[in-house]
Amino acid sequence: KFWGGSFFSNPFGTVLYQASHTDEEVVVQELDLDKTDYYRSHWPFLRDRRIDSYSPITKRFLDEE
């Protein structure tokens, strides 16, 4: 099954482009990596994340018995 729907977004979550959910496509999108670095350092949301709390959402259905 093809899931699709990949997307590009800016640091604020605004979707710049969203791929199809039904068709294959290859897209090239220019991103401002300096802006991304700036917001990562001045708005360190991911710095304080608790990776140990991710295990329930990262468990694959195939791993279940």
Closest Cα partner for 35 from 9, 5, 65, 7? 9
Residue 32 inside a domain? The answer is yes
Amino acid at 41: S
Q: Which domain holds residue 26?
A: 7-63
Closest Cα partner for 25 from 51, 45, 6, 52? 6
Residue 1 inside a domain? The answer is no
Specify the pTM: 0.54
| N- to C-terminal Cα separation, the chain | 22
How does pLDDT run along the chain (65 residues), one tens digit per residue? 667 889 999 888 899 999 998 888 899 988 889 988 898 888 877 778 787 887 777 777 666 66
Residues 29 and 51: their CA atoms lie apart, in Å, by 29
Look at the chain and report how many structural domains it folds into.
1
Residues 53 and 18: their CA atoms lie apart, in Å, by 29
